[in-house]
Chain A
């Protein structure tokens, strides 16, 4: 086995069909419209929407320019474009859900602090003789 064979093996052989590309493009556009609508109706904060919008754009780009997916497959060393697509999608979703767990943890900590603050304020209001240390 020589080097040429090694690289030849990574040449993508399975590509997306035109039907699949059209479907992907339509879904990508619908997805981005949904994001815009969610922001418009105050169901989604802008700062959480950007990453989803970028994802929609990437989907659209992949559907319009198949060469991008082929480059991706080559970079990953797989011969099947769809496998490259699934792998990357899976990784992106994994990273996103981890990101949301981090956000949820932070918010849960903030909620606890708020609850504690409100409990302490309640005691001090009720018993003003328990004097607060001025800071």
Chain B
């Protein structure tokens, strides 16, 4: 089974955390299968009450169903634990709402194969992909993003432009770190800080993302103000945590 090139023999998993995404999940799965053909595709169904799990199975994906909604962090961590237990060497992740083109995830996986421990897709990177004018977001959203970026960049001394991006790829070292401890509520933001502090090689890769096909983001002005405040506290505490050691 092991091929001549080490990279090709690495088992790959692409997973999609999904909570009630029956409208978009099939398209996301087929996109993932088309652009990362050598990977197993798994949907982590975070306690959906619609037909997300059923449609995912029909579309040929593995389905890990959490018995009740646990939040995006727990869903990511489920995939990391599964990947480690089943000896996957690389795992890529994209959102179930259709915002993340799988072709971009394939590029993140390449970054990991080229040596990054964790590759994060950024919508707001100044080095945007040619041909794509960049992601359109509301002013409030951009402001929040700027603030998060400032906070995370300051605490890690590394520049991040899209701290809430759920489009990522990671290797075993990063998966092991996150399988041990992973924030359930502030998954994306806190995990960047956690990874950099553990000495992981975290790379931000410019990607393009699409506008949401269905449904609304849960972020409204009032909740986002509170979210920013909570994130600030979480990052401050993160600075005080003992460093985990990446093997």
- 6 example contacts (A-B, Cβ-Cβ < 8 A) are as follows A112-B70, A116-B81, A120-B78, A122-B65, A123-B64, A130-B86
Contact between B74 and A120, CB atoms less than 8 A apart: no
Q: How far is the CB of A80 from chain B (nearest CB, A)?
A: 38
- For B234, the chain A residues whose CB sits under 8 A away are none
Task: Tell whether A42 is near chain B: CB-to-CB under 8 Å.
Answer: no
State A73–B85 Cα separation when bound (angstroms). Answer: 60
Question: Count the A-B residue pairs with Cβ separation under 8 angstroms: how many?
Answer: 52
Within 8 A of A (CB), among B19-67: 40, 42, 44-45, 62-67
Min CB gap A7→B, angstroms = 42
Pairwise interchain contact A123-B63, C-beta atoms closer than 8 A: yes
Can you list, as one digit per residue, whether each of A89-133 has a CB less than 8 Å from chain B (1) or not (0)?
A: 000000000000000000000001001101110111011001111
Residues on B with C-beta less than 8 A from A118 are 66-67
Q: Which of A115, A123, A131, A132 contacts B42 (CB 8 A)?
A: A123
Interface of chain A: mostly helix, strand, loop or mixed: helix
Contacts A116-B77, A123-B42 given; indicate if A132 touches B85 (C-beta within 8 A): yes
**A residues whose Cβ falls under 8 Å from a Cβ of B:** 112, 115-116, 118-120, 122-124, 126-127, 130-133
Using Cβ atoms and an 8 Å threshold, which residues of chain A touch B220? Answer: none
Q: Among the listed B62, B63, B67, B85, which residue makes an inter-chain contact with A115, where contact means beta carbons less than 8 Å apart?
A: B67
**Residues on the A chain within 8 Å of B64, using CB:** 119-120, 122-123
Cβ of B78 and Cβ of A119 under 8 Å apart? yes
Q: Interface extent on B, as a size class? A: 20 to 34
Contacts A120-B78, A131-B86, A132-B85 given; does A115 touch B66 at CB 8 Å: yes
Q: B87 touching A133 by the CB < 8 A rule?
A: yes
For A119, the chain B residues whose CB sits under 8 A away are: 44-45, 64-67, 78
Which chain B residue shows the least CB distance to A130? B86
Chain A residues contacting B99 (CB-CB under 8 Å) are: none
| Shortest Cβ distance from residue B74 to the other chain A in the assembled complex, whole angstroms | 5
Contacts of A126 in B (CB 8 A): 62-63
Which of B40, B45, B66 neighbours the largest number of chain A CB atoms within 10 Å of its CB? B66
User: Closest 7 CB pairs between A and B?
Assistant: A119-B64, A116-B78, A115-B66, A123-B64, A120-B82, A119-B66, A112-B74
In the bound complex, CA of A93 to CA of B14 (Å): 48
Chain B: minimal CB distance from A5 (Å): 46
Q: Does B68 contact A (CB under 8 A)?
A: yes
Quick check: B67 and A133 within 8 Å, CB to CB? no
Q: Which of B217-233 contact A (CB under 8 A)?
A: none
B184: interface (CB < 8 Å): yes
CA distance A34 to B113 in the complex (A): 63
| In the complex, chain B residues whose CB is within 8 Å of the CB of A131 | 86
Give the nearest-CB partner of A119 in chain B.
B64
Please, how many angstroms separate the alpha-carbon atoms of A120 and B62 in the complex? Answer: 10
Query: Quick one: given A115-B74, A116-B81, are A130 and B40 in contact (CB under 8 Å)?
Result: yes
Which of A116, A122, A133 touches B86 (beta carbons < 8 Å)? Answer: A133
Tell me the complex Cα distance, A19–B48, Å.
Answer: 59
Q: Is the CB of A127 within 8 A of B81?
A: no
Extra contacts besides A112-B184, A119-B67, A123-B64 (16): CB < 8 Å: A112-B74, A112-B77, A115-B66, A115-B68, A116-B70, A116-B81, A118-B66, A119-B78, A120-B85, A122-B63, A123-B62, A126-B63, A130-B86, A132-B85, A133-B85, A133-B86
